Amino acid sequence: MFIDLPSELEASLIDLPLPTWELDGPYLAQSTRDRYRTELAATPRFAETAATLRQALTGEGGGYAVLRLGNLAKALGIGDDRFLRLATAFAIEVAVPFSPFPRWPLWKDIGVKVDKDPWKSSGIGYNAFHMDLVNATLPPDYTTLLCVRTDPLGGGPSILSDSHAAVARLSEKSRALVAESAYHYGTFFDLFGVGEEYKPFPILNGSEPGGGFVRFTAKMLERSQLGQAHADAARELEAELVRGQVSFMLQPGDYLIVNQRRFLHGREALHDGQDTVPVSDRRLLLQLFLRAGADDGSAA
């Protein structure tokens, strides 16, 4: 699931003249997607790298991948617009980049704020297993995270778990309960491209086994009013997700892409002492969402 770029591909990408992207509503414009795809298709060994990426995300047993872009980040500067355009161009090979939040840019910062609730994405505590925009009728098909800086104190490994494998290990009673429309979490306002609010929602969407979203966020167990039986079934699912989790530390330039129809994600707590770290040195990720569609040119 970790994909290193061939050296000849890295060398050719450093000087690739990708233009500034344009948006069409919440989506990356078709003209930008066509231009980026054309430019990258002409680089050596790009096609096989893109195929490997798509296979890791959608092939048998797959569901997430980490594209190792660290060498490009060092060559271009991880904060350079050229580097972010390259990361966006790789995302296009998976699905269509879009921003569901009109008040934020295409790539959204996830920094560290010591005064935030610890369980939030920008908090310092354990960010339990979840899918992004769980309460939308059309949640993003992919969520992606580009590592700019790691926690200088050594905390915050990413965690992922195969949601359908976890569901398969549930008791028959719990599987029946999580398929009922009894769950709700969060607010819903000022969003683009993700449908309508889904409330209440089933954790399982009723599709064939192993397919579709597993609409789960562990945060609803503490922050939503759930009936005892449905809460217990969701806790059993959380335990199975933890039992099957994989964990790794993203490095600067690592680009994590998660197929939300197959895997849920989260993050271990950051190391104690975050208030002693200057804001400019704290862990920083950039998040981008992707929508699979008939015109995205991908195999997703």
State the residue for tokens 């500067």: 77
Is 299 a domain residue? no
Is 82 a domain residue? yes
Peptide bond into 100 cis (omega under 30): no
The whole-number pLDDT of residue 70 equals 98
The whole-number pLDDT of residue 299 equals 38
The whole-number pLDDT of residue 94 equals 97
Rounded Cα gap, residues 127 and 17, in angstroms: 38
- What does the block give as tokens for 239? 């335990």
Check which CATH number belongs to the domain holding 80 and give it: 3.60.130.10
Look up residue 130 and give its DSSP letter.
E
Provide the domain count of the chain: 1
Rounded Cα gap, residues 210 and 98, in angstroms: 26
What are the DSSP calls for 169-233, one per residue?
TS-HHHHHHHTSS-B--S---S--SS-SB--SB-SB-S-STT-S-B--BTTHHHHS---HHHHHH
Kindly give the parts of the chain with pLDDT less than 70: 206-210, 294-300
Is 296 a domain residue? no
Is 150 a domain residue? yes
The whole-number pLDDT of residue 202 equals 96
Rounded Cα gap, residues 134 and 184, in angstroms: 9
Is 300 a domain residue? no
Look up residue 104 and give its DSSP letter.
S
Which segments within 25-134 are labelled E, that is strand? 27-28, 64-68, 96-98, 108-110, 127-130
CA distances from 117 to 106, 135, 139, 177 (A): 25, 20, 24, 30
**Which pTM value belongs to this model?**
0.95
State the residue for tokens 């922050």: 223
Residue 249, SS3 per DSSP: coil
Is 276 a domain residue? yes
The whole-number pLDDT of residue 206 equals 65
Is 189 a domain residue? yes
Is 297 a domain residue? no
Domain enclosing residue 75, as ranges? 2-291
Q: Are 94 and 299 in contact (CB under 8 A)?
A: no
- Of the chain, the end-to-end C-alpha distance in Å amounts to 16
